[in-house]
Amino acid sequence: MARIGVFVCWCGENIGRTVDCPKVAAEAAEFPGVVHSVDYKYMCSDPGQGLVKEAIREKKLTGVVVAACSPRMHESTFRRACAEAGLNPFLCEMANIREHCSWVHEDRGEATAKAVQLVRVMVEKVKRNEALFPIKVPVTKRALVIGGGIAGIQAALDIANGGKKVVLVEKEPSIGGHMAQLSETFPTLDCSQCILTPRMVEAATHPNITLHTYAEVESVSGFIGNFDVKIRLKARSVDIKKCTGCGLCAQKCPQKKIPSEFDEGLGMRTAIYTPFAQAVPNKPVIDRAHCTKFLNGKCGICQKICPVGAVDYTQEDTFIEEKVGAIVVATGYRLYDFRNGEKDYGIEGYGEYGYGQYKDVIDGLQFERLASASGPTGGEILRPSDGKPPEKVVFIKCVGSRDCAKGLSYCSKICCMYIAKHAMLYKHKVHHGTAYVFYMDIRAGGKSYDEFVRRAIEEDGAVYIRGRVSRIYKRGGKLVVVGADTLLGGTGGGRVEIEADLVVLATAMRPQYGIEALAQKLSISYDEYGFLSEAHPKLRPVETNTAGIFLAGACQGAKDIPEAVGQASGAAAKVLGLFSGDELEREPIVAHVNQSQCVGCFYCEQVCPYHAIEREEKRDKAGNLIARVAKVNAGLCQGCGACVATCRSNSIDLDGFSAEQVFSQIGGLK
Amino acid sequence: MSAQRKDSPEKTFAEQMAAETGIDVRKCYQCGKCTAGCPMVPEMDYTPSQIMRLVQIGDREAALRSATIWYCASCLTCSTRCPQEVKIAEFMDALRERSLKAKKVNPRARKIIAFVKSFLGGIRRAGRVHEISMVMEYKTRARDLFSDVLLAPVMFVKGKLKLLGKPVKDRQAVARIFERTAGAK
């Protein structure tokens, strides 16, 4: 005879405001099989869990229903509490009366009635629950880190220093990411290269790290502890083992007018190139789209000149397979394209700022290259059109960000700080110049951040104007920036017109191109803007909803360097925790085949997304084959139920979600 | 609590306007891009963003009495550029209607209203503007008989002023337009 306990949670006001919790508990007490029913303000708290444990012991409960939040939130909490009181955790179920009820309804009477229904349904299910035991699976103690920017480097180093092997994959020819492009970093103005490049070298030479640059993740299968990853090594056209990195090839390459990606188009590179002098590895690749040899078969100078014969035009993409136990995604960001807009997202660029037709309207990363000692101007701030130092520079914040009309409503978070830094660097280099900053708000929340912005204003004389720029147009050799100082009123409405020499747009931070495709390969979710979703915005910020896959850096949301590094170390700690044991426990929600009933059609094999269906041969005592039937590999099965729905002979059932349980739930609705 | 506010009978001015026009001024975050691009700002007493602010804080009186709503030329630059997609120019029109209805029209708007009425009066009668009648009507309404009067003979010689107006064929259709737009006079 079932002895079920029902525990109704108020969730503070979250549930209690809309649902009459004492009434739900009172009604639940009358359900057949329920021997105990209470409500409490915070069931997940220590005293709340105590109520559950006490009732299990005293009332000898055979099942528990917690009517509270989503199982995503606290199922594990209450199952743990049940286990501590000696009840098999899989005899505990959540009735979701928060997300599915109180949060989405307003009428108290109706919401309460629905909550009662949800509890009744769960009571019916729990009566038919059976004790289940976790499945143990082995763990491959190697991690894959996708992306070799500062977040990826940090995660890889932390895992490697923890004594575990790491495979680091970077799609560009060198690791370093955007941080390698930066001039100096806020709020200390230390040189970006000086703090980054030693880390790059450390990552490349670490005995526990295998580095694959110019490589991309092709496909991922498996599950936590046991992922199989296929990596595409793009053809470099240079044998990286032979190449000494002498650089002769790039010197002699006749194609010298290719806009450099590293210099954001402000400098030029050759067809055979390393992205920058401090690249790691310092070995070139051939950009086949621009190389004369690949375009019309002539040239071949680099091959002739190479002293070690490393240039190989016949190289093709190759694939390698790696087995890993955990994956850290650290693919970083790119900037919003104010020139062309974001066509994939149906967003136009900024027509009122000239759609990029003015050479002297540049974005933040381009300014970084102008200010960087390794940049195309050697660190001198010269405007792109005529190479003269600009006398007046206008910085415009929130371009693309906080702009519903352009489809990106979020704040990109780093711009307030880097614009203050830009204004400072500019004043340090062009003493007689004036820096104007158009802003809407100054968001400088961070250690020593606000002081930094004040320094730009008070010590370096940056002129901050509160207002969004309406238009930029060309008059003579100048760019006229039209704005309004909203802190002034009166006649003219605070209208401001500045004849600028250079305009820098602080464009929005966006996730990298192709992030959706990668997320789909990894079966992780992303938001409407393409940022990867964390498992919980507060309490699980580095995990994804797919076990064993973690996030680091700006792929998850706009972030500055300290935050990206912090999250990377957090992800690394999670990975090391995962690798601390030899086995993992997995939820035993897996499918089972009733082999005496299975007709061997193997439709289940076709629909299983996890390749968990195996074929088993049944033989009689004489060894004659009598049937081929399906069998579920419990290590691979994720409990999705696709096979159950497909099975023609009704021979497959899902532990924890059997047909009987589900039908009894439906039958429980009144 | 937003839930309580929703149930309360007292709607704020901004909420009322949002319900009636579908334009929600609460979205405005006072960036001033509308003001920066507005060609009429030098004539205005409040900037367009300040009008948005007046509505946000519920100062109906100041908003309806402002000259700004009448000096708005409806060029739509503000509406086009607003990052929060507030239809500012369209909102000005809604404020003008309410200013007229509440009899709170700014004295500086007298001539503007005289012009609009004379223009629309001609359209209502004939379906198109007859310049001479319009000018006469405007001058009477605005009590400004003699300004620009020397331009008349020049324009007449150049054929810009026709003695007789020619009404459009389907005047019923024009009447229907006026009917549908609430017959505002």
Residues A356-379, mean pLDDT to the nearest whole number: 95
Give helix B88-101 / helix B48-56 axis angle, nearest 10°. Answer: 60
Question: What pLDDT sits at residue A137?
Answer: 86
CB-based contact B31 A468, cutoff 8 Å: yes
Residue range A4-127 forms a domain whose CATH class is alpha beta
For tokens 């020619």, the residue is B166
- State how far the alpha carbon of B58 is from the alpha carbons of A88, A166, A545, B11, B95, in Å: 60, 60, 45, 10, 13
Rg over alpha carbons for chain B, rounded to the nearest Å, is 20
Domain boundary among B45, B72, B104: B104
Question: What pLDDT sits at residue B5?
Answer: 46
pLDDT digits (tens, 9 = 90+) for A449-466: 999 999 999 999 999 999
Q: Same domain, yes or no, for B27 and B74?
A: yes
Q: What is the mean pLDDT of chain A?
A: 94
Structure confidence at residue A414 as a pLDDT band (50, 70, 90): very high
pLDDT at A84 over 60: yes
Q: Same domain, yes or no, for B94 and B53?
A: yes
For chain B, the distance separating the N- and C-terminal CA atoms, rounded to the nearest angstrom, is 42
Instruction: Note whether residue B185 is domain-resident.
Output: no
Domain span at B92: 2-104
Question: What pLDDT sits at residue A491?
Answer: 66
Q: Tell me which of A128-137, A261-270, A385-394, A553-562 is least confident.
A: A128-137
pLDDT digits (tens, 9 = 90+) for A586-617: 889 999 999 999 999 999 999 998 788 999 99
Residue A229: burial class (beta carbons within 10 Å; 0-12, 13-18, 19+): buried
Facing A486 at nearest CB: one of B30, B37, B41: B30
Q: Same domain, yes or no, for B150 and B174?
A: yes
Helix (H, G, I), strand (E, B) or coil at A31: coil
pLDDT digits (tens, 9 = 90+) for B30-82: 999 999 999 999 999 999 999 999 999 999 999 999 999 999 999 999 999 99
CATH-assigned architecture of domain A335-510: 3-Layer(bba) Sandwich (3.50)
Structure confidence at residue B6 as a pLDDT band (50, 70, 90): very low
How near does any CA of chain A get to the CA of B115, in Å? 25
Which are the contacts of A394, defined by CB distance < 8 A and separation ≥ 6?
A436, A437, A438, A469, A479, A481, A498, A500, A502, A503, A504
CB-based contact B36 A470, cutoff 8 Å: yes
Q: Tell me which of A112-121, A374-383, B175-184 is least confident.
A: B175-184
Question: What pLDDT sits at residue B2?
Answer: 40
Which are the contacts of A470, defined by CB distance < 8 A and separation ≥ 6?
A352, A482, A483, A484, B33, B34, B35, B36, B37, B77, B81
Chain B neighbors of A495, CB-CB under 8 A: 35-36, 41
CATH number for the domain that contains residue B39: 1.10.1060.10
Structural domain count of chain B: 2
Percentage of chain A beyond pLDDT 90 is: 89
Q: Same domain, yes or no, for B70 and B157?
A: no
Q: Which of B4, B7, B29, B35 to mutate to test the interface with A (most CBs of A within 10 A)?
A: B35
Percentage of chain A beyond pLDDT 70 is: 100
Question: What pLDDT sits at residue B182?
Answer: 64
> Do A4-127 and A335-510 come out as alike in CATH topology?
no
Cβ–Cβ contact B49 with A under 8 A: yes
Domain boundary among B56, B76, B104: B104
Which of A264, A283, A258, A257 lies closest to A182 in space, CA to CA?
Answer: A264
For tokens 């009447």, the residue is B175
Chain CA centroid to CA A228, Å = 20
Amino acid making up residue A359: K
Contact A393, A460 (CB under 8 A): no
CB-based contact B83 A483, cutoff 8 Å: no
pLDDT at A400 over 70: yes
pLDDT at A444 over 70: yes
pLDDT at A484 over 70: yes
Q: What is the pTM of this model?
A: 0.83
Which are the contacts of A657, defined by CB distance < 8 A and separation ≥ 6?
A589, A639, A641
Search chain B and give the residue with CA nearest A17.
B3
Question: What pLDDT sits at residue B80?
Answer: 93
Structure confidence at residue B9 as a pLDDT band (50, 70, 90): low
User: Quick one: tokens of B159?
Assistant: 């054929």
Residues A263-276, mean pLDDT to the nearest whole number: 96
Q: Tell me which of A284-298, A400-414, A628-642, B170-184 is least confident.
A: B170-184
CB-based contact B83 A106, cutoff 8 Å: no
CB-based contact B32 A492, cutoff 8 Å: no
Cβ–Cβ contact B81 with A under 8 A: yes
Q: What is the mean pLDDT of chain B?
A: 88
CATH fold for domain A142-234+317-332+524-578: FAD/NAD(P)-binding domain (3.50.50)
Chain A neighbors of B37, CB-CB under 8 A: 352, 470-471, 482
What CATH number was assigned to the domain covering residues A591-654? Answer: 3.30.70.3270
Give helix A449-458 / helix A415-429 axis angle, nearest 10°. Answer: 40
Structure confidence at residue A94 as a pLDDT band (50, 70, 90): very high
Chain B neighbors of A437, CB-CB under 8 A: none
Q: Same domain, yes or no, for B13 and B88?
A: yes
pLDDT at A165 over 80: yes
Facing B41 at nearest CB: one of A440, A468, A492: A492
Chain A neighbors of B40, CB-CB under 8 A: none
Residues linked to residue A617 through DSSP beta bridges, in sequence order = A628
CB-based contact A440 B31, cutoff 8 Å: yes
Q: Tell me which of A215-229, A313-327, A413-427, B153-167 is least confident.
A: B153-167
Which are the contacts of A250, defined by CB distance < 8 A and separation ≥ 6?
A270, A272, A273, A274, A284
Facing B36 at nearest CB: one of A398, A467, A491: A467
pLDDT at A27 over 60: yes
Segments making up each domain of chain A, as ranges: 4-127, 142-234+317-332+524-578, 248-305, 335-510, 591-654
- ipTM comes to 0.78
Domain boundary among B79, B104, B129: B104
